[in-house]
Amino acid sequence: MYPSIIFPDEFPLAAEMTAKHAKRYLEWFRSVVPERIALLESEVRKVDVGLGWEADFTPESLKQLGAWFVSKVATEVCEPVPVILHERQIDTINYKLTGETYTRSFDVGIYFGEILIRADPRLKWDVLTKGTKRNLDFGHLVIPGLKGGTCNPVRLLVTIAHGIVQRISHIGPGRLFELYTFRFDNLRNGG
């Protein structure tokens, strides 16, 4: 079983995050990053696709990590839920990602974000507390400063997990590396 991440009770739901909460949340987050990445490395190495993988923060490491992630996405059956786009139902899903998949998404998202930050020292983690609370990233860990806005690496990984489950053709083992290349190009081109 993939070890869960325990969020301290002192933090409110994302939509209720204040600047004061965000500062403490960011301090807590920074304190757990090394532990979560070490745990991720240990877990990836336990399976054939991850043999020899090192959390060395190179873009190349995303290729093997992506293959591991694809092999670990799991779901549970749930009551059908409508998918709404522009006030129209476009689909129905009858699954939800498992808690382990969300935790893996969190850890792989941390690692992905750390690679972005190490590629450009101007970047850093932050918690979005400015602007409208209707923003999906409000109260979440983001990396601002990229051309085109912020990057929420954890949300990105959850989206990839849903794409894997839905068998979307362009989402597979190489997707993490492709997204890094896309984000890094944005950095170099005016981020």
Q: How many CA atoms lie within 13 A of 148 on its CB side?
A: 10
pLDDT band at 182 (very low <50, low <70, confident <90, very high): confident
pLDDT at 149 over 90: no
Residue 191: predicted pLDDT: 46
The residue-averaged pLDDT of 132-159 equals: 88
Closest CA to 110 of 166, 39, 45: 39
Closest CA to 108 of 4, 165, 36, 6: 36
Greatest mean pLDDT among 15-24, 82-91, 142-151: 15-24
Domain ranges of the chain: 14-186
Closest CA to 142 of 126, 157, 158: 126
Residue 32: predicted pLDDT: 97
SS3 of residue 70 by DSSP: helix
d(CA 155, CA 36): 17
